[in-house]
């Protein structure tokens, strides 16, 4: 029986009439949701990597592939999606209409595969909202309909992308961590497939440094939002999913906003014991993110070897020490503290209606716990990012990437990269050493 809370969520927030095609939907405790558009070849690589996981986890895990496009999508995209639909249906039906060797490999592994057709004529996603967020939401909403709620196991929604591959311990580490540690939400460790010697090699090193540096800066500042927000690394249980009113429909940054919603209600844990390997390809699929950053790097539109000045994170740290740890004080106390920390911090708070917001928060918070929670929700991950951008634009312009890394590394007592020898942009070999350091700590 579906819990009443799930029914209430579906009545209010679920989308359309998309259905799951599967051999059976029994005994499902974990669903891997994979949105796929124009991913015929990549999808095969992902499924092979999943099939190499431990088989004992396959009996209660369902891989749901959401093949999607718009009615206005190009002929080539629709054609590739038709091939993907045919391939996945061959696996589900245990037939060999095409890719006989591949289909047999997946079927014989015991990996349970399901399909959502959001691609064929009349089943396409809507033009206004149709994108990766909408496709994820279709799959995630369908997942909570099919869980075996009679089981005591955690009911997990695991997100992946079709252009990823995973380690052989992927399912074990996610499922065991959630059940043994009683997690509600987590981010799985990731490392982009660097592709040494390819045209994207330098671009993806630079981009992953950028991502990890920002999270390391948030960690230094002791921000509660110091976690990665990458779609292919997101995992949550059904209870946390419905409590945050599910996935959003955004065409880009859907992962950021979903993880932020989770973080306002649950602790985002990390699963470092297994790794997802996202692709480093150029891509048209979203207006920003890995694919677009790689495209921008290769086009040489701007200097990519720049990062936020570490001073911005020092200001954030000082502000959070006051804002999150001090209770039972007046709004003026916070304002005066912000002015002492940095004048542009004060300006930022003023432009974001801090005084009015804090008065309302204090008035509506009956306990110290409620006050702390509401303050965290106000100064959320998005507002944190806005502050860092504001300080960049008004106080501390971006600085050389490797100068910034050296300074932040020193604050964490991270082993320095001596080989740099003050080169503004060191060799790719040395850049990889910087990235590997970051991978250990962020």
Q: Answer whether residue 87 is part of any domain.
A: yes
> What are the tokens at 90?
């061959």
> What are the tokens at 221?
């500042």
pLDDT tens-digit map of 14-25: 988 899 999 999
| Domain final residue, candidates 270, 299, 328 | 299
pLDDT tens-digit map of 204-250: 999 999 999 999 999 999 999 999 999 999 999 999 999 999 999 98
Provide the number of structural domains found in the chain. Answer: 3
pLDDT tens-digit map of 309-360: 999 999 999 999 999 877 778 899 999 999 999 999 999 999 999 999 999 9
H helix or E strand, kind and range, residue 403: helix 401-411
pLDDT of residue 336: 96
What are 64's strand-pairing partners? 33, 114
Q: Answer whether residue 240 is part of any domain.
A: yes
Neighbours of 219 (CB within 10 A): 17
Mean pLDDT computed over 189-214: 88
Helices (H), 326-364: 331-341, 343-351, 354-364
Average pLDDT of the chain is 93
Strands 61-68 and 112-118: parallel
> Is the pLDDT reported for residue 393 higher than 50?
yes
Mean pLDDT computed over 47-62: 98
Which comes out higher in pLDDT, residue 346 or 297?
Answer: 346
Please check whether residues 156 and 75 belong to one and the same domain.
yes
What percent of the chain clears pLDDT 70, i.e. is strictly above it?
Answer: 96
Please check whether residues 75 and 172 belong to one and the same domain.
yes
Please check whether residues 248 and 384 belong to one and the same domain.
no
Please check whether residues 402 and 388 belong to one and the same domain.
no
| Domain final residue, candidates 265, 299, 333 | 299
Please check whether residues 264 and 404 belong to one and the same domain.
no
Please check whether residues 340 and 412 belong to one and the same domain.
no
Q: Answer whether residue 265 is part of any domain.
A: yes
Q: Answer whether residue 305 is part of any domain.
A: no
> Is the pLDDT reported for residue 184 higher than 70?
yes
pLDDT of residue 301: 77
Asked if residue 34 lies in contact with residue 163, where contact means CB atoms within 8 angstroms, the answer is no
Q: Answer whether residue 69 is part of any domain.
A: yes
Please check whether residues 142 and 25 belong to one and the same domain.
yes
Q: Answer whether residue 430 is part of any domain.
A: yes
Please check whether residues 293 and 319 belong to one and the same domain.
no
pLDDT of residue 195: 74
At a CB cut-off of 8 Å and minimum separation 6, what does 212 contact? 228, 435, 438, 439, 442
Please check whether residues 160 and 289 belong to one and the same domain.
yes
Q: Which domain covers residue 411, as residue numbers?
A: 398-441
| Domain final residue, candidates 244, 274, 299 | 299
CA-based angle 271:370:187, to the nearest 5?
Answer: 10
pLDDT tens-digit map of 122-147: 999 999 999 999 999 999 999 999 99
Please check whether residues 188 and 321 belong to one and the same domain.
no
Please check whether residues 349 and 423 belong to one and the same domain.
no
Please check whether residues 52 and 176 belong to one and the same domain.
yes
Q: Answer whether residue 304 is part of any domain.
A: no
3-state secondary structure (DSSP) of residue 297: helix
Q: Answer whether residue 338 is part of any domain.
A: yes
Lowest mean pLDDT among 91-105, 190-204, 335-349, 357-371: 190-204
CATH of the domain at 98: 3.90.550.10
pLDDT of residue 287: 46
pLDDT of residue 285: 45
């Amino acid at each position: 029986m579906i819990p009443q809370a799930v029914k209430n969520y579906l009545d209010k927030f679920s989308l359309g009439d998309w259905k799951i095609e599967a051999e059976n939907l029994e005994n499902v405790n974990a669903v891997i949701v994979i949105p796929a558009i124009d991913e015929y070849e990549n999808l095969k690589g992902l499924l092979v990597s999943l099939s190499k996981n431990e088989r004992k986890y396959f009996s209660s895990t369902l891989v749901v592939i959401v093949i999607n496009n718009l009615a206005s999508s190009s002929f080539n995209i629709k054609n590739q999606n038709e091939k993907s639909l045919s391939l996945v249906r061959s696996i589900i039906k245990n037939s060999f209409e095409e890719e006989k060797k591949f289909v047999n490999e997946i079927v014989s592994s015991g990996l349970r595969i399901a399909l959502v057709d959001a691609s064929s004529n009349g089943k396409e996603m809507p033009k206004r909202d149709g994108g990766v967020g909408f496709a994820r939401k279709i799959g995630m909403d369908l997942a909570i309909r099919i869980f075996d709620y009679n089981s005591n196991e955690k009911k997990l929604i695991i997100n992946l992308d079709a252009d990823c591959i995973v380690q052989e311990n992927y399912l074990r580490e996610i499922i065991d961590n959630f059940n043994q540690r009683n997690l509600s939400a987590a981010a799985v460790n990731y490392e982009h497939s660097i592709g040494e010697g390819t045209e994207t090699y330098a671009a993806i090193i630079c981009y992953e440094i950028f991502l990890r540096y920002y999270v390391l800066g948030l960690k230094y500042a002791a921000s509660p939002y110091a976690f990665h927000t990458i779609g292919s690394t997101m995992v949550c249980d059904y209870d946390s999913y419905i409590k945050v009113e599910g996935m959003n429909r955004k065409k880009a940054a859907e992962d950021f906003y979903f993880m932020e919603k989770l973080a306002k209600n649950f602790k985002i844990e990390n699963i470092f014991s297994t790794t997802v390997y996202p692709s480093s390809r150029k891509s048209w699929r979203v207006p920003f993110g890995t694919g677009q950053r790689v495209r921008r790097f290769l086009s040489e539109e701007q200097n990519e070897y720049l990062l936020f000045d570490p001073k911005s994170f020092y200001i954030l740290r000082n502000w959070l020490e006051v804002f999150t740890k001090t209770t039972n004080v007046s709004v003026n106390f916070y304002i005066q503290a912000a002015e002492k920390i940095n004048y542009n911090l004060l300006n930022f708070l003023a432009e974001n209606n801090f005084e009015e917001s804090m008065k309302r928060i204090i008035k509506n918070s009956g306990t110290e716990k409620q006050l702390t929670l509401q303050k965290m929700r106000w100064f959320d991950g998005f507002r944190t990012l806005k502050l860092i951008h504001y300080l960049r634009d008004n106080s501390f312009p971006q600085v050389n990437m490797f100068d910034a890394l050296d300074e932040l590394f020193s604050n964490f007592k991270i082993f320095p990269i001596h080989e740099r020898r003050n080169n503004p942009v060191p060799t790719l070999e040395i850049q990889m050493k910087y990235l590997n350091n970051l991978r250990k700590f962020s």
